[in-house]
């Protein structure tokens, strides 16, 4: 459906929906606007259910994850939790 929109409208919509998520990471707030737009356009939503693994230790994974809401546990290969869970949420 979004692919049917004109390119400029897709860019504006993408920026509107994802800008706040990106700006919560101070590193991105200093990017030139063109680079920032390119990054925002590449964001793709993914959903994980409780108990699912996002990435395994030692796995090469060419992605960066932003957690919009929920809890992320970091566990060792045996499934033991390392440290406290990470609770993240975005203001509405």
Report the number of distinct structural domains present in the chain: 2
Distance (Å, rounded) from C-alpha 89 to C-alpha 70? 6
Residue 15: phi, psi to the nearest 5? -60, -45
Q: In DSSP terms, which residues pair with 88 in a beta bridge?
A: 70
Pair of tokens at residue 30: 């200093």
pTM score of the predicted model: 0.57
Dihedral through CA 22, CA 24, CA 26, CA 31, nearest 10?
Answer: 20
Q: How does pLDDT run along the chain (92 residues), one tens digit per residue? A: 667 888 888 888 888 888 787 778 888 888 888 888 888 888 888 889 988 888 877 777 788 787 778 888 888 778 787 766 555 444 44
- Same-domain check for residues 51 and 92: yes
- Same-domain check for residues 14 and 36: yes
- Same-domain check for residues 1 and 32: yes
- Same-domain check for residues 65 and 80: yes
**Residue range(s) defining the domain that contains residue 90:** 47-92
């Amino acid at each position: 459906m979004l692919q049917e929109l004109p390119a400029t409208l897709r860019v504006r919509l993408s920026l509107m929906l994802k800008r706040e998520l990106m700006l919560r990471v101070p590193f991105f707030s200093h990017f030139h606007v063109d680079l920032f737009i390119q990054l925002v356009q590449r964001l793709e939503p993914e959903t994980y259910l409780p108990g699912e693994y996002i990435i395994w230790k030692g796995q090469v994974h060419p992605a960066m994850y932003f957690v919009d809401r929920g809890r992320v546990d970091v566990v060792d290969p045996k499934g033991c939790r390392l440290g406290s869970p990470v609770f993240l949420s975005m203001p509405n």
